[in-house]
Structures are given as structure tokens and as C-alpha cells.
Amino acid sequence: MSPSTPASASLSLVDGRRAPALRLGDPRVMALAGALAHTTKLIGGFSNKTPRPLVAALLGEPYGQGRCCYDLRRLRRKGLIVRIEHSNTYLLTGDRQRFAIFYTKLHNRLLRPLLAANAPPAPLSLRQALRAIEHHVDDYLAEARMAA
């Protein structure tokens, strides 16, 4: 990528490799954050097998080994976990707890109530305000794409 090429907001390069974003509000990322918060007490680290049943339970759908490997790779490239050399075991970094707590609190305290407020029986004025916000955000994103 040349310096003049605009960087995608959802993609960064770590050691020359793609590091896909951990999107806020994505159910899979939220479940992964919850699983990370649950594994904070593991002293010897965790393997691919550890978060899979936790994430599957939080998602309410199967969560296979391939998806878990991909997500662990994303977490490693974002610096939230580190891999122990010569093993398939990961340790959580100091940022992992802040990440997990931030994501889960933000989802539970802000996103879930806002998404629920967009449907009846929420007051009409609140639903209209949310539609207006959504309209302005859509317009802003459309203008940003045109400028790029």
C-alpha cells in the first residue's frame, strides 16, 4: 500500500499482514470479548479449544475450529493476546481485560437499549430521533465515500 492510498478504517497492517477490525456491535466480537473476560483467570494460558464452547454458547450457534483460529489470529495481531513460542497456547495481554470489559459494558449499557428502543413499544419520539440519527450517519458516510 502506497502512502497516497487511503487506508481502510476497518483494516490495518501489522508486521506487513492484514489485521481485520474487531467491529463494535458484531455479535461474534461481543461473544469473543465475553469469552476473553471469562478466561482471565487461566494462569497457564488457553488454547483454541478453550474459548470455542464459551463463544458458541454466547452466540447461540456452532463456533468451529476454523472460525476460532481466525479470531485468535485477529486478536493476536491486534495485540490482545500473545502466543507462547513452540505451542498452541495463548496468553492474554494487559489490554485484554480493558477490551473485554469495555466491549461488554458498551454493548449491555448502550447498544442493546438503543437497538431495543428502535421498535415498539418505545416512545414514538425516541424512534423518530433514532431514525433521524441513522439518516444523518448514512448521509455522512455517503459523502465520505464520494470524497475518497
Residues 33 and 77 in one domain: yes
At 1 the pLDDT is 40
The answer to the question of residue 146 being in a domain is yes
The answer to the question of residue 60 being in a domain is yes
At 94 the pLDDT is 74
Residues 89 and 128 in one domain: no
Q: Distance between CA atoms of 43 and 90, rounded to whole angstroms?
A: 11
Residues 25 and 62 in one domain: yes
> Is the separation of the CB atoms in 48 and 90 below 8 Å?
no
Residues 77 and 43 in one domain: yes
At 137 the pLDDT is 83
Residues 143 and 90 in one domain: no
The answer to the question of residue 6 being in a domain is no
Give me the domain span that covers residue 81: 13-108
The answer to the question of residue 1 being in a domain is no
Domains in the chain, number: 2
SS (HEC) of the chain:
CCCCCCCCCCEEEECCEEEECCCCCCHHHHHHHHHHHHHHHCCCCECCCCHHHHHHHHHCCCCCHHHHHHHHHHHHHCCCEEECCCCCCEEECHHHHHHHHHHHHHHHHHHHHHHHHCCCCCCHHHHHHHHHHHHHHHHHHHHHHHHC
What is the band of 40 on the pLDDT scale with cuts at 50, 70, 90? low
Residue 143 pLDDT exceeds 60: yes
At 63 the pLDDT is 92
* Average pLDDT score over residue span 55-83: 88
CATH code of 61's domain = 1.10.10.10
Among 6-20, 74-88, 134-148, the range of highest mean pLDDT: 74-88
The answer to the question of residue 3 being in a domain is no
